[in-house]
Structure 1
């Protein structure tokens, strides 16, 4: 009996440098999808996003954050839609779609409730509706359980803070005023808990967004809802959507209501859903699934930009209903994205005494220092830390610990880069980290 497959549509933050560039060479549907997105965005007065994503140099998330908000959001939305089209076009049909926060719009488009052009208009309308709230709030991830997160809010006596997202048993997102989050960060640091600000200029999933809901609805007034072709489960509303739902209102309500992803995964798992595919960049949602329920199969085909073709093929082969042979037209090695166990977030690594910048020394020396630093911190034999070993996909080093290690790299090498600006998904191997260190020394980072 085939495992029933859930396609997971990630929210804002699901972007990695170079995403879909390799897949675009092998799948014309990527260019076709973004051509449609560019045409619809032009009608909203928004520049084309495909030129940014697929131009001479792939932009980092920091590059896109310096542009109009709609561009990063359309990039994330478009990556999910294009990935869904690649998978389904190759015969990998999902049994259920689940969108996380912003990802619900892409999930509903892929389910047929809205056409792609209207999905673009919804993304642009959301950005316009939230513009007055930019800079008035913030969000941050914290690596602890929900009870402890609630106690921290009480400890710092900041009642305006709320738990905006419950992503896994030990990963939650706080939402509220930036100064209040700064107080929680101090407490989290003292307790050795992971804490990271998100790249969002407002407090989503917070009561302060209530007035944005009718504005968003009004901006979507001319968009027509269509019958669902695929079932969609909402971790915000805690159930499947139906054609009787006002889905535009449901999406607008997501601005205020919390995301209960942990509860959604547990509910689906209890009903026998055991295969989960991340239909977007990176693997944030599949990691949360692994950390929440046992005995599941997960696929994150776009985890590593240079291995997208192999990752997509592996996902297709795993979920094809007919059990046919290898998919044609997708060259490259047969390589599955292996689900690694997700360890509990580790206490923050004690800060090392900063070393002065060392203008001398080449890449081999930097790589050797990195290998020794990581081997000691991870308690791994140094010989297993190959230059091109994927820290997460192959060695099981979760992003929380990678973030702590990158902070230590900045301190050890005396780099000018702010630890808060580092993105672990852009530095997935020791080789990439060595190149980052050398570029930072030369003043060439970002």
Structure 2
């Protein structure tokens, strides 16, 4: 059963926490089974890492990416096992777009685990530690942020990379240029502009070497037409052609995440309810800022999942 007004959204880096999904794993066998599948691909115990490791361990990009992918896919499988309605649309924020593609039937989970581990490793290697930075800018419109970045660049790279919601934009680039852009945003009237605790300037041109290195591996992987349409970060539209989806997933690494436009596209398509399929509630919060008519659900705990299944049943 598909609910025509329901969409699923999948979180990206930043939503990981030690101990996440412990309650869900006790209630739904799909959680442990999915983590076991991922562990066999990765060669280490992913569940043990996210329950008993350190926050520092799970914040390493090449670990964070397979971890969040696995958590999201596990929750989606649990959702379906509990009789949850299939969504009419999907989207994922940055890394979360890979979770969306797996749940939409575009590629096998094991292939996605391999690819996102490589994606994380290559993105981390693209810029040496300390040379890149990201910062969140609150309370400034998109154009003002873009202008501040243009003024601050001075021959280096700094750009708006995550359009998360109106008045919330993330910038990234080389460290010194980001520092200059933070000051420029404050001078332009931003309520806040603050560095983020991330290790690389994601979604900038500085990531193009990572994209170039990952492209042949994406090309060699089997992609199918999506069973559920996925709205892509790069252009906030759906795509049905597998080869075009491959190109978008390469481009996505060095292109801005147009999240506001993705959620607006869902609302325009008649979506009234969103389920955030993964740990945390970042995307549910952003959805309400983008369109206050959207009803957002989280399903990280058994109680939340059960309530959301009932609320979204037709």
Q: Which residue of 1 aligns with 2:264?
A: 266
Q: Specify whether residues 145 and 192 from structure 1 end up closer, same or farther in structure 2 by C-alpha distance, changes over 3 A only.
A: closer
Matches for 1:35-114 after TM superposition, within 5 Å: 35-42=36-43, 47-55=44-52, 59=53, 61-65=55-59, 68-92=60-84, 93-114=86-107
Q: Specify whether residues 30 and 187 from structure 1 end up closer, same or farther in structure 2 by C-alpha distance, changes over 3 A only.
A: same
- SS of equivalent to 1:259: coil
Q: Which residue of 1 aligns with 2:113?
A: 120
Q: Specify whether residues 161 and 132 from structure 1 end up closer, same or farther in structure 2 by C-alpha distance, changes over 3 A only.
A: closer
Q: Tell me which structure has the larger Cα radius of gyration.
A: 1
> Runs of 5+ in structure 2 lacking a partner?
none
> Runs of 5+ in structure 1 lacking a partner?
303-307, 322-446
* Bigger relative contact order (CA 8 A; separation at least 6): 2
Does residue 149 of structure 2 align to residue 153 of structure 1? yes
Equivalent residues of 1:209, 1:256 under 8 A apart: yes
Q: Specify whether residues 178 and 157 from structure 1 end up closer, same or farther in structure 2 by C-alpha distance, changes over 3 A only.
A: closer
How big is the shift at 1:164?
0.6
C-alpha separation in 2, matches of 1:208 and 1:157 = 13
- SS of equivalent to 2:83: coil
Equivalent residues of 2:164, 2:260 under 8 A apart: yes
Matches for 1:13-412 after TM superposition, within 5 Å: 13-42=14-43, 47-55=44-52, 59=53, 61-65=55-59, 68-92=60-84, 93-130=86-123, 131-135=125-129, 136-143=131-138, 144-156=140-152, 158=154, 160-188=157-185, 191=189, 193-302=191-300, 308-321=301-314
- Residues 110-141 of structure 1 show CA distances to partners (whole Å, capped at 9, x for unaligned) of 11111111011111221233223242422211
- Residues 292-334 of structure 1 show CA distances to partners (whole Å, capped at 9, x for unaligned) of 11311111233xxxxx12111111111124xxxxxxxxxxxxx
Matches for 1:397-436 after TM superposition, within 5 Å: none
- SS of equivalent to 2:178: helix
Structure showing the higher helix proportion among its residues: 2
C-alpha separation in 1, matches of 2:61 and 2:11 = 17
Aligned residues: 307
- SS of equivalent to 2:311: helix
How big is the shift at 1:171?
0.6
TM-score for the superposition, normalised by structure 1: 0.64
Q: Specify whether residues 147 and 237 from structure 1 end up closer, same or farther in structure 2 by C-alpha distance, changes over 3 A only.
A: closer
C-alpha separation in 1, matches of 2:232 and 2:291 = 18
Q: Specify whether residues 219 and 80 from structure 1 end up closer, same or farther in structure 2 by C-alpha distance, changes over 3 A only.
A: same
C-alpha separation in 1, matches of 2:252 and 2:263 = 18
Q: Which residue of 2 aligns with 1:390?
A: none
Equivalent residues of 1:164, 1:204 under 8 A apart: yes
C-alpha separation in 2, matches of 1:133 and 1:53 = 26
Q: Which residue of 2 aligns with 1:401?
A: none
How big is the shift at 1:17?
3.2
Q: Specify whether residues 243 and 229 from structure 1 end up closer, same or farther in structure 2 by C-alpha distance, changes over 3 A only.
A: same
How big is the shift at 1:5?
0.9
RMSD, matched Cα = 2.2
Equivalent residues of 2:137, 2:193 under 8 A apart: yes
